[in-house]
Structure 1
Amino acid sequence: MTKKAQTPAVQNGNTDPNTLQLHKDPAQTDAAQIAAMALGSVAANAMTARTFAKGTFGTLDVTECVMTLKQRVDTTHDGNLKHAETTLTAQAAALDAIFNEMARRAALNMGEYLEATERYMRLALKAQGQCRATLETLAGIKNPPVIFAKQANIAHGPQQVNNDSFPSSTRIRAHARKRGTTPDELLEGPQHGSTNMDDRAATTPTRGHPAVETLEPIHWPRKPRRKSGGGA
């Protein structure tokens, strides 16, 4: 037995609310336009939303559902996220209502029906977790996080990159060549005016031979000689 379709919630000029009306595109054939609509995301999700909304709002006009969802998608593409914020805010409120109802039922069964209490409490905590996640998503849309990315030097082949904030061995060698010395050269010789390794630090004269005390004799135990295995 075929179920009779319910009266649509909003009346319009369409005679059949279950018939999807398309605007003719001269650049496409009818078959190509129908295939593009059927394989697209807007029409398929509009049909799914229409099916789930039927129990609450009755039979909605399929053409109006597709056009409404298409306008929301275009608004999102333009960078307007007000509808997304509205949806998340409303869903968070609905999830909070589910949490309170499940928690209330858990409290009513507490003390007598522990199994029912546990099931209702689990459903309540699941709704609470989904509500928190929804609010976190909403906060991320309103205040997106700032990402600080470090500089990445990626080279395909031989390439030398000198960053001013980090010293490199190439810069040290170039600076040493400019001064006429190498980093590991001792600062000795008459060209530096000193025979010390570093003429910047003052040295204190000391005695050539410090006093050395005589060590006490150490008496080691005498080891017995090993006897040979052969006869005398």
Structure 2
Amino acid sequence: MSKKNPKTLTVERAPDQTSEQATAEVAVNPAMNAAFVVDTYQSNILGDDVDTDALVATLRASMDKSAAGDLSGLESMLIGQATALQTIFVSLAKRAHHQQYQRHLEAFLGLALKAQAQSRATIQAVIDLKFPRQATFVKQANIAHGPQQVNNGHANGGDTVRALENQTEQIEVLEGATHGGKEMDTRATAEAARGNPAVEALATGHRPKKRGR
């Protein structure tokens, strides 16, 4: 029996699928797409002997664990990346220290600081993964002029709107009352009330005479 080529990808086809449909499904499959990229860039690490089918199976298992809520694999990956980036930072920082020319020093030091920043960002991603931030909802209260209080999120929004309209009408009445469709002239002299003789205007003959000095 001939040995299987490790770079040969096995494509499974359902009974109701055509070969073209099965190939198209492979083209958009997340695990297989990731396997192609990983295999391309890992050749200088483990060589060309990594089996493509085994790589796809490993990626699918990792994705299934994440879908089930087990994020330990992602956490381990992020920790590994943060550590690797820290190693790159140290290496580049040491190389920058030994440079004789200013432009070379700035180039290596700039790359070192970029690796350091990426390491810090990866560490923050680990923290966010393990301790998700809780959203805080604050109930806001809007206090209108007068005794009314309007709370945001009130179940009966119609009552709130009507209360505000009534308040607005009251303010308009106080600012300028109308009589017969015309604005009242507050400069006019008010007539004496006929219903109460005690407050009627006094006639000229009833006024007391001025006392002499």
Tell me the TM-score normalised to structure 2 length.
0.63
Question: What's the secondary structure of 1:160's corresponding residue?
Answer: helix
1:17 counterpart = 2:17: no
1:170 counterpart = 2:163: yes
Measured after TM superposition, the shift of residue 32 of structure 1 is 1.4
Q: For residue 214 of structure 1, what is the aligned residue in structure 2?
A: none
**Matched residues in 2 for 1:14 and 1:69: separation?**
24
Question: What's the secondary structure of 2:136's corresponding residue?
Answer: coil
**Matched residues in 2 for 1:14 and 1:28: separation?**
29
Q: For residue 126 of structure 2, what is the aligned residue in structure 1?
A: 138
AA in 2 matched with 1:35: A
**Matched residues in 1 for 2:154 and 2:23: separation?**
47
28, 34, 41: which one pairs with 2:23? 34
For residues 2-151 of structure 1, the aligned pairs below 5 Å read 15-59=4-48, 60-109=50-99, 112-150=100-138
**Matched residues in 1 for 2:75 and 2:134: separation?**
20
Measured after TM superposition, the shift of residue 40 of structure 1 is 1.9
1:160 counterpart = 2:158: yes
Unpaired segments of 5 or more residues in structure 2? Answer: 140-151, 167-173, 175-213
Measured after TM superposition, the shift of residue 154 of structure 1 is 10
CA 1:29 to 1:117, structure 2 compared with 1: closer, same or farther past 3 Å?
same
Measured after TM superposition, the shift of residue 41 of structure 1 is 1.9
More strand by share: 2
Verify the 8 A CA contact 2:9 2:53 in the aligned structure 1. yes
More helix by share: 2
Structure 1 outlier segments of 4+, above 4 Å: 150-155
Measured after TM superposition, the shift of residue 123 of structure 1 is 0.6
Unpaired segments of 5 or more residues in structure 1? Answer: 1-12, 163-167, 174-183, 185-232
The sequence identity of aligned pairs, in percent, is: 29
**Matched residues in 2 for 1:65 and 1:14: separation?**
18
Q: For residue 195 of structure 2, what is the aligned residue in structure 1?
A: none
Question: What's the secondary structure of 1:100's corresponding residue?
Answer: helix
**Matched residues in 2 for 1:136 and 1:68: separation?**
27
**Matched residues in 1 for 2:85 and 2:8: separation?**
34
Tell me the TM-score normalised to structure 1 length.
0.59
Deviation string, structure 1 residues 85-130 (Cα, Å, up to 9, x no partner):
0000000000000000011011112xx3211111111011000000
Count of paired positions: 152
**Matched residues in 2 for 1:23 and 1:154: separation?**
57
AA in 1 matched with 2:73: H
Measured after TM superposition, the shift of residue 29 of structure 1 is 2.9
